[in-house]
Structure 1
Amino acid sequence: MPYRFAAVLATTALLAAAPAARAQQASALSARVAQLAEQEQAQVVAWRRDIHEHPELGNQETRTAALVADHLRKLGLEVQTGVGRTGVVAVLKGGKPGPVVALRADMDALPVTETTGLPFASKVRTDYNGQQVGVMHACGHDTHVAMLLGAADVLTKMKKDLPGSVKFIFQPAEEGSLPGQEGGARLMVKEGVLENPKVAAVFGIHIQAQTEVGQLSYRPGGEMASSDVFSIKVKGKSAHGAYPWLAVDPVVTAAQIILGLQTIVSRQAQLTEDAVVLTVGMVHGGVRNNIIPEEVELTGTIRCLNKEMQQKVWAGVRRTAQGIAESAGATAEVDITNYAPITFNDPDLTRCMVPSLERAAGPANVRVQKAVTGAEDFAFYQEKVPGLFVFVGGMAKGQNPATTAPHHTAGFFVDESGLTLGVRTLATLAIDYLTGK
């Protein structure tokens, strides 16, 4: 009896000490990550500037991919190229057995002519959809690549402490491919990027030019909207513009459809549940001022934050377009294609990883943000495995978000002092997931 009592006491003491020991180990690992990330700062900035000066559009990121693959090979990692056209995937095997966690960065730029005046500003020009355009990293994907390369350096130096493996995913074409060309996360998932070895969880970050450096933000559940592309072909009957009674005018009908579509958001969507956006972005029809055309095509985007709402909006677009067209004696052919699902942060994974975000940035610098009606094809990974997508501040301290150039514009600017936090965040998420902190 005394022996059993002593054994119980010893076990109780060990259990009581375990949380303290885990906390001490987590603190030591976090300090190590912070130290290594700080040492990477100059190199991360150099990578970012190089990539920024040499941007490449979706599925054309050959130079960027070569830079990434060369460095990952120097780290001694298993590297695979040509995944999803120009993607690069590498695996770091830890010093102990365990699960596999994935970290992802997107590599592509946008058809935007840069006006920042930076010494490393892009001067690249190319043909895009039949037009001569500038090419620019106007959404910060250059910073994403640089930060993930920095995290790969940090994690490689901590290899012996990793109970499991880290898969680094450098993805092309997040902003989309040319018409008729598949790419991005959808294609990488289709080609098995989350398999061999099988990924248990995936993390990604995105620079945010309207949030101060040093800050992290996230949202459990629906964080970024789904992105759907719709086209409506309104077909009527052509006639001379001087004799409209001989026509079935698709121009007037299309105008009525545009107005009718707005009521889907203003009168049919329960906006107290979630936001909905429906925008007609293109109207094409006609070749001459005095000829009523036979057909007008409308093209636009739909953004939703939950699948039930998305299905209701799709049905509303079809019902509205076809009903209005029929009332005018015309027809409407409606096509809706999903570009990206809802970026959905797994609630359980998010809750478990919030302490990691707080270790990376400090508790005062981590906040829950409102949902974003922009979209991210990171959502395709989250459809297959639990994932968490986090925003990293890239605006200089003291600046007014209302006066900073937004993403996807020619003056888009990132304060590079915020990149070290991105490196620290990616490395901390990977280590904490693998070690169960």
Structure 2
Amino acid sequence: MGSRFAEAADALRDDLIAVRRELHAAVEVGLELPKTQRIILRELDGLGLEITRGTALSSVTAVLRGGRPGPVVLLRGDMDGLPLTESTGLPFAAASAAMHACGHDLHIAGLLGAVRLLAARRDELPGTIAFMFQPGEEGYAGGRLMIDEGVLDAAGEKPVAAYAVHVDSATPFGQLVTREGAMMASASALRLTLHGTGGHAAFPQLAIDPVPVAAQLILAVQTFAARRLPATDQAVISITRLSSDSEASNVLASTVSMEANIRTLSMATLDTVRTELPTLLTGIAAANGCRLDAEFIASYPVTYNDPAETREVLAVLEELVGVERVTRLPEPSMASEDFSYVLQEVPGALVFVGAMTAAGPVPMHAEHTVFDDAVLPLQASVLAELAWRRLIRG
């Protein structure tokens, strides 16, 4: 059948690129994104949508009701940037100490394109679509907050499916990537405070120095991941922060603070880490005369693509762009995504789309990250087509 939206999406190319670049220059971080919200509301004006703004965050939910009866499908795009100073040299580079280094500006523009494509065919639309413009993806759990504020009920009934597209600056342009089941890892943290007694650096025998004990704890973390977890369901545990309260070279610290970032691909493994790792570390600390305070901080769950929905998505993608441009990811990514909160409640799928420039791959979340925004018509048409096909299925 091909895409019913491809030609119309190509006609929107210049508009989508222009709004993406405006968003890129106006980047904001966190849950409060007033400039970004104003741009989105401006672009949605006049399209006949039911629009709701968030209370705890500057989100936008827009509901498009079709001319024919049918279920509800949700499409999501995240809005926030990262606290990085941009060094791309682009003419539309952000001038502030923030940057769209994860492509969320493309996500907004692509979702705005999908709104316009679907609104133009409202009379034929067999159901309702809720568009979720979400702040606070980068560590602020904006997706969970929008669920708390009722995004899944915005259309009057719960969506039967939810879809999102995420650009990737290291994947070849136009390549579409997804997989059934676990797509991205959970993200959690273990915050540790190790208490000794401190003392004079010349007389360590008169003190309980927590620094060498901290070194034992760091090694124990790595051993735990390698020896206490199954090889088929591993965790990535990284010590990302380490500091002591000593401010002089001749003073032994009395406390050492550490934080471990924890990534898992199943809730069972996360439960094991959450319960057993603090017990192990507390025992090591006690054996060395120290006291350990451990605080587990849960963040994003595993991003889980519903297998049945994802098989349908893969079939649609292959029809739209050809089998050679669709990749089934062999293993999940250990990065995380708070679209996971939506996918806990609604079956659906997250799809990556390659936005690598002709200069070659660059990592995301870096000051020099660049994306080829010529991918926007594809983004918009894929989102629109996935929603349309799901509504037809009923």
The Cα shift of 1:135 comes to 0.6
Quick one: which of 56, 64, 71 aligns to 2:36?
A: 64
* 2:151 is the counterpart of 1:193: yes
1:115 and 1:275 mapped to 2: Cα distance? 36
Quick one: which of 163, 171, 176 aligns to 2:139?
A: 176
Asked whether the equivalents of residues 19 and 109 of structure 2 are also in contact (C-alpha less than 8 Å), the reply is yes
Give 1:156-171 correspondences, 5 Å limit.
156-171=119-134
1:218 and 1:208 mapped to 2: Cα distance? 12
1:56-80: per-residue Cα shift (whole Å, max 9, x none)? 0011211111111122122111111
Quick one: which of 199, 213, 231 aligns to 1:253?
A: 213
Structure 2 counterpart of 1:169, one-letter code: M
The Cα shift of 1:331 comes to 1.3
Normalising by structure 2, we get a TM-score of 0.96
Structure 1 counterpart of 2:240, one-letter code: G
Give 1:215-234 correspondences, 5 Å limit.
215-234=175-194
The Cα shift of 1:200 comes to 1.8
2:159 and 2:373 mapped to 1: Cα distance? 31
Larger relative CO (CA 8 A, sep 6+): 1 or 2? Answer: 2
1:79-99: per-residue Cα shift (whole Å, max 9, x none)? 111254100000000011111
Asked whether the equivalents of residues 214 and 421 of structure 1 are also in contact (C-alpha less than 8 Å), the reply is yes
Query: Secondary structure of 1:373's partner?
Result: coil
Q: Residue in 1 aligned with 2:7? A: 35
Structure 2 counterpart of 1:372, one-letter code: S
Structure 2 counterpart of 1:146, one-letter code: A
Q: Residue in 2 aligned with 1:282? A: 241
Asked whether the equivalents of residues 102 and 364 of structure 2 are also in contact (C-alpha less than 8 Å), the reply is yes
Quick one: which of 264, 289, 292 aligns to 2:252?
A: 292
The Cα shift of 1:383 comes to 0.9
Query: Secondary structure of 1:299's partner?
Result: strand
The Cα shift of 1:348 comes to 1.2
Asked whether the equivalents of residues 3 and 320 of structure 2 are also in contact (C-alpha less than 8 Å), the reply is no
1:413 and 1:230 mapped to 2: Cα distance? 33
Query: Secondary structure of 1:32's partner?
Result: coil
Asked whether the equivalents of residues 360 and 421 of structure 1 are also in contact (C-alpha less than 8 Å), the reply is no
The Cα shift of 1:303 comes to 0.2
1:350 and 1:83 mapped to 2: Cα distance? 33
The Cα shift of 1:359 comes to 2.7
Structure 1 counterpart of 2:387, one-letter code: A
Asked whether the equivalents of residues 25 and 93 of structure 2 are also in contact (C-alpha less than 8 Å), the reply is yes
* 2:70 is the counterpart of 1:118: no
| Aligned structure 1 segments of 4 or more residues deviating by more than 3 angstroms | none
* 2:45 is the counterpart of 1:73: yes
Structure 2 counterpart of 1:192, one-letter code: G
1:136-178: per-residue Cα shift (whole Å, max 9, x none)? 001000000000000100000111221110000000000024x
* 2:376 is the counterpart of 1:435: no
Structure 1 counterpart of 2:183, one-letter code: E
The Cα shift of 1:424 comes to 1.2
Asked whether the equivalents of residues 62 and 130 of structure 2 are also in contact (C-alpha less than 8 Å), the reply is yes
Asked whether the equivalents of residues 73 and 79 of structure 1 are also in contact (C-alpha less than 8 Å), the reply is no
Q: Residue in 2 aligned with 1:381? A: 342
> Radius of gyration: which is bigger?
1
Normalising by structure 1, we get a TM-score of 0.87
1:84 and 1:91 mapped to 2: Cα distance? 20
Asked whether the equivalents of residues 86 and 99 of structure 2 are also in contact (C-alpha less than 8 Å), the reply is yes
Q: State the superposition RMSD in angstroms.
A: 1.4
Identity %: 38
1:333 and 1:261 mapped to 2: Cα distance? 15
Asked whether the equivalents of residues 185 and 381 of structure 1 are also in contact (C-alpha less than 8 Å), the reply is yes
1:83 and 1:270 mapped to 2: Cα distance? 43
The Cα shift of 1:300 comes to 2.1
Q: Residue in 2 aligned with 1:7? A: none
1:368 and 1:353 mapped to 2: Cα distance? 11
Higher mean C-alpha displacement, 357-366 vs 292-301: 357-366
The Cα shift of 1:362 comes to 2.0
* 2:31 is the counterpart of 1:98: no
Structure 1 counterpart of 2:338, one-letter code: D
* 2:308 is the counterpart of 1:348: yes
Higher mean C-alpha displacement, 192-201 vs 229-238: 192-201
Asked whether the equivalents of residues 163 and 348 of structure 2 are also in contact (C-alpha less than 8 Å), the reply is yes
2:43 and 2:349 mapped to 1: Cα distance? 26
Structure 2, unaligned stretches of length 5 or more?
A: none
Structure 1 counterpart of 2:27, one-letter code: P
The Cα shift of 1:269 comes to 1.9
2:131 and 2:174 mapped to 1: Cα distance? 24
Q: Residue in 2 aligned with 1:138? A: 101
2:356 and 2:311 mapped to 1: Cα distance? 26
Query: Secondary structure of 1:210's partner?
Result: coil
1:344-401: per-residue Cα shift (whole Å, max 9, x none)? 001111112222222332222111112100000000001111120000100135x55x
Question: How many residues of Structure 1 are paired with residues of Structure 2 in the alignment?
Answer: 390
Q: Residue in 1 aligned with 2:370? A: 413
Asked whether the equivalents of residues 264 and 316 of structure 1 are also in contact (C-alpha less than 8 Å), the reply is no
